[in-house]
Structure 1
Amino acid sequence: MTRTGGSTAVTRTAVGEWSLRSRVLATLGAVVLLHALALGMLGAGALESSVPLSIGLVITCYLTGVKHSYDWDHIAAIDNSTRRFISQGKRPASVGLAFSLGHSSVVILAGVLVVLGATFVSSFIEEGTTANTALGIIGGTVSGVFLLVLGTYNATASVRSWRLRRAVADGQRITEEDMRSQGLIARVLDRPLQRVKSPRNIYVLGFLFGLGFDTASTVSLLIITASASVAGVSTWTLISLPFFFAAGMCLCDSLNGLAVLRMYGSTWRDPVRKLGFNAVITGISAVSALFIAFITVGAVLNTAFDLNDPLTTFLASVDLGHAGLLLIAGLLAVWGIFALVHRSSWRASPALH
C-alpha cells in the first residue's frame, strides 16, 4: 500500500502483479532452469558415452543457438514488441524469453522426435520438400505481416514524438494522452495488435516464426549426423542438444529484451530530450522491422508462387543472420549517446541534484 496526497492507493504489486524486479528475476531464473535441465540431460548421457565428444557437440549446439538469437528478425520482433508494450504503460521483462521459448519449442520438438526415430520429421526439415515449403510460407507470412504492422505502428509513434518534441521546444504543454500514438494509421493498426496484450502472447508468435525450420534443421542435422556416424553417443546426450541450443538462444534473447526495456524505460526530467530519444530509438526499431518485413514477404512470394524475377529472387537469398548485431550496436550507440548527454546536463545543473 502507498499513500498519495493523504489518500490510500493500492499499488499494482499489492493487487497481485509482480514488481519489475521480481519479473526480471523470474525471467533470468527461467533461463537458468533451462540451462540446468540441459546440463542434467548431458550428465545422464555422460554416464553412457564419451564425455569429450559430448562436450564438443554441446558447445556447437549452444553457440549455434547464441548466433541465431542475433538474427535480425529476432531483434526486430523483440524490440518492436517491447516498444509497443511500453507505449501502453507496461514494463514487460519477459518479451525476449517468451519469443525465444516459442521459437525453441519448434527446435526441441523436432530434435526429440528425430532422436526417437520419427522418420516423418525429415519431410519437415529437408529443404525443398512440400512440407518444408508449406511451413516456411506459414512462418514467413506470420513474421513478415507482424513486423510490417508493428513497424508501421512504431513509425507513426516516432513521427508523433518528433512533432511533440518541437511543440515542447516551442513552449507548449503536453499531457500523457498526447504521448500516446493517435491518428488514423495508429487506430487502424491498433486493431490487429489488440490480441498481443502480454509477453505470453509473444510465445505464440515465436513459435510461428520458427516454423520455417531454419533453426530446427541446423540442430536436427547435428543430431542426425551424431547418431549416424558416431557409435556410443547416448540418447540423453542427443536429446540434450536441442535444449542446449534453446538455452543459448533464450539467454541472449532474454538479455536483449531486458536491454530494450532498460533503454525505452529511461525517464528523464527534460521532456525535449526524452521525446528526442524516443523518436530516434523508435524510428530505428520501425525501420528495422519494416526492412525485415520487406525481405521476408518478398521471400515468401518468391517461394509460394515460384517467381523468377530478380527482386524476389534476391530477397529470398538474403541472409539476415549477421545483420542483427548491427542493429544492436546501433540501438546501444544511440542509447549511450543520449545517456552521456543526459548525465553531463544533470551534473552541470545544480537544480537537478
Structure 2
Amino acid sequence: MSTIAAKWTTARSALTACEWRHVGGMLGTILTLHVLGWGIFIVAILPQHYKLLGLGVAVTAYTLGMRHAFDADHISAIDNTTRKLMAEGKRPLSTGFFFSLGHSTIVFCLGIGMTIAAKALIGQVSNTSSVLQSFGGLFGTLVSGFFLYMIAILNLVILIGIVKVFLEMRRGRYSDHELEHQLNQRGLMFRFFGKMMKSIHSPWQMYPVGVL
C-alpha cells in the first residue's frame, strides 16, 4: 500500500493543480462524447435497425476506430508536435486530445454525408449491374491502393534515412540534428502539412490538423 501511495503522490506532484484541471476537463469531454454517442445509438438507432445494425456491429466499428487511433501517421503527428512544443519549454498535455477531437469531427461529418448519400443513391448502389456500382467499386479500389502504396513508399524512405543515421551512430558519428530531422519526417501528414505543423505553438492548434 505504501508503494502505491508513493507512486500516487509522485504522479500528483508531476502536474500542477491547473494541469490536473485540464486533464479532468479532457477526461470529462471524452466521457461525455462516449455517453452521447452510445446513448443516441441505443435509444434512437438500435430499435429501428437492429436487424442490420446490431450491437455487435457497433462494437466492432468502435474497436476498429480505437485501433485506427493508434495508426503510425497519427502517432507521428502527435509525437512530432509534442516534442516541438516541449523543446520550446511548454507542457503540451493536450496535443493528442485536440488532434483526436479534430479527427473525430471530420469522421462524424463524413459519416453524416455518407448516410445522406446512401439514402439518395441506394437504388443504384444496390443494383450490381448499375454503372455507379461498377465505377464506384473500381474507383474506390484504385484510390485505396494508390494511397496505401504511397504511404508505404514514404515510410520506406523514412526508414532508410533512420537506418542510415543509426549506422552512422554505430560508427561513432552521431548526429543529433540529423536524427531529429529524420524523426520529424515521419508520417504522411507531416510530409504534406509539415510547414503548417511547424507553425503550431499551442496544443489547441492541432484541432485543424486532426480535421485534415
Structure with the higher fraction of residues in helix conformation? 2
Q: Partner residue of 1:36?
A: 35
Q: Secondary structure at the match of 2:90?
A: coil
Q: CA deviation at 1:72?
A: 0.9
Mapped pair 1:75 → 2:79: no
Q: CA deviation at 1:76?
A: 1.1
Q: CA deviation at 1:199?
A: 1.8
Maintained 8 Å contact 1:27/1:93? no
Q: Partner residue of 1:89?
A: 89
Cα deviation per residue 1:58-77 (whole Å; 9 max; x = unaligned)?
A: 10110111111121111111
Mapped pair 1:207 → 2:206: no
Q: Secondary structure at the match of 1:48?
A: helix
Q: Partner residue of 2:18?
A: 19
Maintained 8 Å contact 2:103/2:211? yes
Matches within 5 A, 1:140-155: none
Q: Distance in 1 between matches of 2:113 and 2:195?
A: 38
Which segments of 5 or more consecutive residues in structure 1 lack a partner in the other structure? 1-17, 163-180, 182-189, 209-353
Q: Partner residue of 2:61?
A: 61
- Number of residues of Structure 1 aligned to a counterpart in Structure 2: 146
Q: Partner residue of 2:116?
A: 116
Q: Partner residue of 1:286?
A: none
Cα deviation per residue 1:138-180 (whole Å; 9 max; x = unaligned)?
A: xx89xx7xxx8xx99xx9xx816x9xxxxxxxxxxxxxxxxxx
Q: Distance in 2 between matches of 1:191 and 1:66?
A: 28
Q: Distance in 1 between matches of 2:107 and 2:195?
A: 31
Q: Distance in 1 between matches of 2:52 and 2:112?
A: 22
Q: CA deviation at 1:105?
A: 2.3
| Structure 2 counterpart of 1:50, one-letter code | Y
TM-score normalised to structure 1 length: 0.34
- Aligned-pair identity in percent equals 32
Structure 1 residues 83 and 52: CA distance shift in structure 2, 3 A: same
Maintained 8 Å contact 1:85/1:92? yes
Q: Distance in 2 between matches of 1:25 and 1:204?
A: 23
Structure 1 residues 195 and 127: CA distance shift in structure 2, 3 A: farther
Maintained 8 Å contact 1:20/1:91? no
Mapped pair 1:45 → 2:45: yes
Q: Distance in 1 between matches of 2:137 and 2:176?
A: 41
Q: Distance in 2 between matches of 1:82 and 1:114?
A: 33
| Structure 2 counterpart of 1:20, one-letter code | E
Mapped pair 1:198 → 2:197: no
Q: Secondary structure at the match of 2:89?
A: coil
| Structure 1 counterpart of 2:92, one-letter code | P
Q: Distance in 1 between matches of 2:197 and 2:72?
A: 21
Structure 1 residues 20 and 58: CA distance shift in structure 2, 3 A: same
Q: Partner residue of 2:176?
A: 159
Q: CA deviation at 1:57?
A: 1.5
Q: Distance in 1 between matches of 2:196 and 2:104?
A: 25
Q: CA deviation at 1:194?
A: 5.1
Q: CA deviation at 1:48?
A: 3.2
Structure 1 residues 112 and 53: CA distance shift in structure 2, 3 A: closer
Q: CA deviation at 1:117?
A: 3.5
Q: Partner residue of 1:342?
A: none
Q: Distance in 2 between matches of 1:192 and 1:112?
A: 28
Cα deviation per residue 1:167-221 (whole Å; 9 max; x = unaligned)?
A: xxxxxxxxxxxxxx9xxxxxxxx9765531212221211222xxxxxxxxxxxxx
Structure 1 residues 129 and 106: CA distance shift in structure 2, 3 A: farther
Which segments of 5 or more consecutive residues in structure 2 lack a partner in the other structure? 1-16, 126-131, 166-174, 181-193
Q: Distance in 1 between matches of 2:138 and 2:201?
A: 36
